Structure 1
Amino acid sequence: MDKQYFLAPYLANNHWSLFIISPTKKEVFILDSLKGNKDKNNYLLSEVIEDVFKGTKFTWSMVECKQQNGRWACGFMVLGYMMEFIWQTTRVATQKDIDQLLRIIMPWFFVKMFPNWSYTFK
C-alpha cells in the first residue's frame, strides 16, 4: 500500500468524528469532539478498518482534541481536524483560511444534501 495516511470522516448517530489511519505505521487515531470515555470499541468503523486491513495489528489512540460546546458543531470540528492534519507540515491554518474554506464547502454541501433548500451564503 503506497498511502501513508487515510482520513476517514465518520458519521454515526448524527455525530461526526475523524479517523486518521496509517497502514504503514500500523496506527489509527480517533478524533472525537464529544470524546468522553470512549475507545475504539465505541465505533463501528473500527471493526471495518480491521476487516479491510486483515492481519494488521493496529495501535489505537484517542486523540486529545478540541471539544465542542454544543451538539451541532461536530462537522465543523472534523473539518478543522482535517485541515490541521493536512497543513501541519506545510503551514498553520488561520481563522481566515478556515472561514474561506467553509464559504466554499458549505454551499456545495447544502445543495447536495438539501436540493430544495435555498439560502444565500455571504
Structure 2
Amino acid sequence: MLHHEPVASINYMQRTLRANRNMKYIMLPYIENQHWILLVLSLYKRTVYVFDSLRRSDRSLAIKEPLHTAYTSFLLLEGIKATKLSWVSMKCAQQTGGDECGYFVMKYMFQIVRFLYQANDLKKVCICCKLVTYMILKFIN
C-alpha cells in the first residue's frame, strides 16, 4: 500500500490522526515484509514507540516518512508548529520462532490496554484496526 499508493496512504493516515486528535495514544499494528510490529503514537509527546518482537538494528520502517508527512500535515491543519516525530524502540518480549509476530502485537496491545485501564486512562486510547484492514486490503488487491 505504501509503495503502490503513497498519496492515498498519507491522506488516510492524516484523516485518522484528525479523527483521533483527542486520543493520548494511537495504536497502529503495522506489517512490513511479512512481519507485524506495533507502533504506538503519542500525539502529545510527538513520539512513536516501536514494539518489535524481532528487534533488529538494521530495520528501517517504510512507514516512517509517510507517517511523518501525514503527522506534519495534521499539525499544520491544527494550527500547530510542525515538528519531527521521535521514534523510540521499546524493550519488549521477543519471539523465538519465525511466525509469532502477530501474537506478540496482540500481547503488547493487551498489556498496554490493561495498564491504561488500571491507571484509569483507557478513554484516551485509539486502536486503529481500520487502518490495518485498509492497508491489508489495498496490499492484497
Give TM-score, length-normalised by structure 2.
0.59
Consecutive unaligned residues of structure 1, counting only runs of 5 or more, are 92-122
- On the 8 A contact 1:50/1:56 being kept in 2, the answer is no
CA offset digits 1:4-49 (Å, max 9, x no partner): 111000011110001000111111100100012146xx10111121
Change over 3 Å in CA distance of 1:51–1:24 after alignment to 2: same
1:74 to 101, 118, 134: 101
Matched, 1:65 2:92: yes
Contact 1:17 1:30 in 2 (8 A): yes
Structure 1 outlier segments of 4+, above 6 Å: none
TM-score, length-normalised on structure 1?
Answer: 0.68
- Structure whose residues are more often helix by fraction: 2
Report the equivalent of 1:6. 26
- 2:97 aligned partner, one-letter code: G
| RMSD, matched Cα | 1.3
Counterpart of 2:57 (choices 33, 37, 56) is 37
Note the residue ranges of structure 2 that are not aligned, 5 or more in a row. Answer: 1-20, 73-81, 119-141
Once residues 62 and 34 of structure 2 are traced to their aligned partners in structure 1, the CA distance between those partners, rounded to angstroms, is: 14
- Residue in structure 2 matching 1:15, options 35, 42, 45: 35
Tell me the SS of whatever aligns to 1:18.
strand
Is the radius of gyration larger for structure 1 or structure 2? Answer: 1
Using CA pairs under 8 Å that are at least 6 residues apart, name the structure with larger relative contact order, 1 or 2: 2
* 1:51-103 Cα shifts (integer Å, max 9, x gaps): 11112322210001100000000000000000111111334xxxxxxxxxxxx
